[in-house]
Amino acid sequence: DTLLLQLMQRLYDARILSLIVEGGAVLLNSFIEKGLWDEARVLTGDMKIGEGLAAPVINNEVHAIDDFSGKDRLSVFVNKNSPYQYVEGMRL
């Protein structure tokens, strides 16, 4: 926990204000549980690959938009505690 917070502080001190996190359930849950996220993009397809790990549960989210490409759906959520709130009609 403290390692993640230290990392975020070092990035902030270096003026790196944007970070894309693409990882497994443990890494993603670490960011979600600490509230260290502004936006989540979830891509859902119609094909099931079999048994696997459950997707992380996003908390404090506000559903912003859904976009479709064929049978795939891109859902965008924003953290309701983030200072960077989605405004309807805003391009993400």
**What is the pTM (predicted TM-score) of this model?**
0.78
User: Residue 23: pLDDT band by 50, 70, 90 thresholds?
Assistant: confident
Region 69-86: what's the mean pLDDT? 88
For 18, the enclosing helix (H) or strand (E) is none
Region 37-56: what's the mean pLDDT? 84
The dihedrals phi and psi of 43, each to the nearest 5 degrees, come to -100, 125
Q: Is the pLDDT of residue 60 over 90?
A: no
Whole-angstrom distance, CA of residue 34 vs CA of residue 36: 5
User: Residue 24: pLDDT band by 50, 70, 90 thresholds?
Assistant: confident
The terminus-to-terminus CA distance of the chain in angstroms comes to: 29
Whole-angstrom distance, CA of residue 31 vs CA of residue 82: 13
Q: Is the pLDDT of residue 78 over 80?
A: yes
pLDDT of residue 55: 80
